[in-house]
Amino acid sequence: MTKLWGGRFQKATDHLVDDFHSSISFDQRLYRYDILGSMAHARMLAKQGIIAPEEAQAIIKGLEEILADIEAGRVEFSVAAEDIHMNIEQLLTERIGPVGKKLHTARSRNDQVALDVRMYLKDEINAIIALLRQLQETLLELAEKHLDTVMPGYTHLQRAQPITLAHHLMAYVQMFGRDVDRLQDCRRRTDVLPLGAGALAGTTFPIDPAYVAEQLGFAAVAENSLDAVSDRDFAVEFTAAAALIMVHLSRFCEEIILWSSAEFAFVELDDAYSTGSSMMPQKKNPDVAELTRGKAGRVFGDLMTLLTMLKGLPLAYNKDMQEDKEALFDAVDTVKKCLRVFTPMVASLKVRPENMAGAARGGFTNATDLADYLVKKGVPFREAHEQVGRLVYYCLSKGKSLEELSLEEFKQFAPVVEEDVYRAIDIGQCVAARRVLGGPAPEAVRQAILRARERLEN
């Protein structure tokens, strides 16, 4: 097959080079964006008098037919044609003749691929934002059902203070909200038209990039042709945001894995989101959560691939940049796949409130509240801390909880304690008293849910 760029060459490339050089195996997913971008480019060429209107019409009609054939599965792409851009151009020329060769006037594959990737990524960002908002909505619905479900909060994976399941879930609503913010910010920088930059130095033809940007829905046009074709920072930025999404999913999965174990028994996973053992018939494994946790590493690797690919490249375009797509596509696919299975898994969780409450009552999660009680009685905090620490040690030696101590036992270590101490260290009261902004009290969490819903609606 004659290469579309082969005029300067007197010898065919080796077949191993053709295979090594080709990207059609993965960049074919850009076909729709490549065709839409080419149609907009053809209209602009006609508008500017660079090609005749009837030539543009023939090109656009041919591209529309190719798009329909690809989507109907009637097109087999060629490795010899290297990439999606040259495959489509070759198909076009075969269908409409020499006029198809005029489509590439005033552009290069360098600005063409940058255009396709930006168009693709804008759509994928929108899709992932929609999935994140769906997950947030699922968490809000679950939180509303568990405003009064008391559970232990942890530091160092040790029981620390009592909170509610709703409060815990709302922490992830906040995290995923910031993930949405990052994607929206990334989309703004992705929403810049590079077409018109040519190979690196623009073109001598009187093109109208603003007209192309308007057709394709871009908010801005690249202001430097070198930058337009040589950087992929928008792809790096997206992949970094995707990596953080996976961090948040992975942390949540780790908790679900722990909570569904017999040692915690806080939740039970639905059968539809669990698997069994090939050997042990009693097993119910949290494989969906474990796989999501594991797939975080893929996206971290995708980010490192992009950073490493870019770090040593001189301006402008270099063939190394072909390596951006597989990493970017994998990050997109992995995040979407994980969100699509994670959200219904969480929605179907069976919560065990009695086990959560039992755990909150154990482990002296109300010790801080006892210290606060003493401070309110006039004891300096450091002294209160020491007195409560001694009380906890005493409880451990006697096999008791703080609530089970008599008033006389309390007074041995904290003389200011009165009968009202039992209300102060009641687990439910410990939670309800934390009414500050961002706290676990049901009324505070209810307000947090309302604010989160308002943000989702905007």
Instruction: Cite the active site residues.
Output: 156, 277
Distance of alpha carbon 39 from alpha carbon 63, whole angstroms: 7
DSSP run (H or E) holding 233: helix 233-259
Distance of alpha carbon 128 from alpha carbon 239, whole angstroms: 12
Distance of alpha carbon 194 from alpha carbon 227, whole angstroms: 9
**3-state DSSP assignment of residue 350:** strand
**3-state DSSP assignment of residue 182:** helix
Q: Which are the contacts of 98, defined by CB distance < 8 A and separation ≥ 6?
A: none
- Please state, as a whole number, how many other Cβ atoms lie within 10 Å of the Cβ of residue 452: 20
Q: Which are the contacts of 417, defined by CB distance < 8 A and separation ≥ 6?
A: 373, 374, 377, 407, 410, 411
Cα angle: 133, vertex 135, 141; to 5 degrees: 105
Cα angle: 230, vertex 233, 237; to 5 degrees: 165
**3-state DSSP assignment of residue 154:** strand
- Please state, as a whole number, how many other Cβ atoms lie within 10 Å of the Cβ of residue 153: 17
Asked whether the bond before 56 is cis by omega within 30 degrees of 0, the reply is no
